[in-house]
Amino acid sequence: MQTLMAFNALKYCLENPDYFYQVRVVAAQQLALCCRPRKLSGSDRQLSVLVDFLKSRLYSAPDRQLVEPSDFSDFSEHLVVRGVVHALTSVKVSGSGAFPLSHQSAMDIVIDLLKYNDSSQNYYVDGYYISSLLNSLSELSTRNQSYQERIHNEIIRFLDNEQLFPSYRRVVTDAISRCLGLRILQCD
């Protein structure tokens, strides 16, 4: 059980850009380990911190509904965001039987980041970022048919894109094959 002081320390560590990025990622992982949402749409304070952190960094300011274009100019912040996305997708809710399910906010964020990814104005190639998001997508587990279709559509869209414009060292292809393999295992 996490105390309020520990929660505040982890939150401060995650949000403080003066800390080394790996320390901030570990803080996000610890917050994710302590998440205990009761329902798929429910919330708790650790989950809210992770979701709010991602929305403040990746979504446009007025209403936090639109994903901003990718910007890797601050590389340490970029690595923290990737780590927080991975931590968020590791949060599971007890589902029916022994099958743990991913939280709806985690699925929405990862699918939105993939669907609305825009690197047209980014100086850096986003292959490793897309690969990281696809690996996070492969960790999502749901029984909801509409989410399964959305996840499948994003995987197929990136597979088609990868055939036209291969990524450096085919990192996106590798992530897609891992994602498809894990999706098949989840269906069994």
pLDDT surpassing 60 at residue 139: yes
Question: Average pLDDT for residues 42-53, to the nearest whole number?
Answer: 86
Q: Report if pTM > 0.85.
A: yes
Quote the domain boundaries for residue 168: 4-187
pLDDT surpassing 90 at residue 41: no
Rounded distance between C-alpha atoms, residue 159 and residue 153, angstroms: 10
Residue 1's pLDDT band, with cuts at 50, 70 and 90, is very low
Q: Exposed/middle/buried for 8, CB within 10 Å: 0-12, 13-18, 19+?
A: exposed
- What pLDDT, on a 0 to 100 scale, did the predictor assign at position 131? 97
Rounded distance between C-alpha atoms, residue 140 and residue 137, angstroms: 5
Question: Average pLDDT for residues 33-57, to the nearest whole number?
Answer: 83
Total of domains in the chain: 1
What beta strand segments (E) does the chain contain? 92-93, 101-102
